[in-house]
Amino acid sequence: MFHFLGNVVDWFGNGSHWSGSNGVPSLLLGHVEIVVYSLLIAAVVALPIGLWLGHTGRGGFAAINVTNVGRALPAIAVLILAAQWLGIGRTPALVALTLLSVPPILTNCYTAIRGVAPEDKDAARGIGMTGMQILTRVEIPASIPLIFAGVRTAAVQAVATATLAGFVAYNCLGTLINEGVSANDHTELFAGALLVVALALITEYGLGAVQAAITPAGLRAGAAGRRRGGLRLRAADNPIVDPTAR
């Protein structure tokens, strides 16, 4: 056991694993890059739709069900089918990751905007705000934590799915695991897994900290703002969103 862990430490100490297109920095960069791009595209597509559906109250059924469908779709199947269609490499990975990131972002955004307390919106209307002003000054500020929670869920899921992109010959941290499996090299396998887990946990808890930091004081549980009748969230402030792609 200690011998094995020693090998893993040696693996990380070996300079050749830190340079070239298959070195850790390059694989990490590829991993992060595909996650960031797919999240950006998914957010640009999903947020306007979520805001509009939530504000008008239309299409709730579709907004909720897109997540149920997304959840039932095995990420690995989406990824490999995309590769059959588009060829291997970056393109299928980007398409699959983007597709899988849309549902959590869209549904959380819709639920957040719908969940803003009606009395807050009535008050805003009462003091003469237009629909657009209600959206930008009341609904969005009150929904920021939940909207961000959707992005965070999508990000954690995308980090996990990007690991699978090694199966379609995209260079990412998953590549180390795949190489380790096919070469029966347990050291490389373990080292790759460690790197993936570190990235996943940093994403999960790092974005969790960001979420806490951007939550307006008036929305925090037990905040004075709430007692004074500040903006309230109606929807579950702890949405259960369960990524299929692990």
Partner 1 sequence: MPVLADSQPWIQWSWVRSHPGELWHDVAQHLDLTLIAVAVGLVISLPLALVVWRWRRWETPIYGIEGVLFAIPSLALFAFLIPITGLTSTTAEIGLVSYTLLILTRNIVTGLRDVPADVRDAAEGLGYGAGRRLLLVELPLALPTIIAGIRIAVVTTIGLVTIASLIGAGGGLGFLIQQGQQNDFKTQVVLGCLLSVVLAAVLDGLLVGVQRAVTPWVRRGA
> Residues in the site for partner 1, rule: CB under 8 A?
4, 71-78, 80-81, 83-84, 87-88, 156, 159-160, 163-164, 167-169, 174, 177-178, 180-181, 186, 189-190, 192-194, 196-197, 200-201, 204, 240, 242, 244-246
Q: Which is nearer to partner 1, 83 or 124 (CB)?
A: 83
Q: Where are the alpha helices (DSSP H) in 73-172?
A: 75-86, 90-114, 118-126, 131-133, 140-164
**Closer of 98 and 163 to partner 1 (Cβ):** 163
Q: Which is nearer to partner 1, 105 or 155 (CB)?
A: 155
CA–CA distances in Å: residue 47 to residues 93, 108, 116, 126, 143: 22, 9, 16, 27, 12
Nearer to partner 1, 66 or 135 (CB): 66
Nearest approach, Cβ of residue 240 and partner 1 (Å):
7
Nearest approach in angstroms of CB 14 to partner 1 is 18
Distance between CA atoms of 181 and 188, rounded to whole angstroms? Answer: 9
Q: Which is nearer to partner 1, 124 or 158 (CB)?
A: 158
CB of 244 to partner 1, least distance (A): 5
CB 172, min distance to partner 1, A = 11
Q: What are the respective helix, strand and coil percentages of the chain, to the nearest 5?
A: 80, 0, 20
- Least gap, CB of 85 to partner 1 (angstroms): 9
Pair of tokens at residue 176: 């180390």
Do the beta carbons of residue 178 and residue 167 sit within 8 Å? yes
Q: Write out the two tokens for 198.
A: 């570190």
Q: How far apart are the first and last CA of the chain?
A: 27
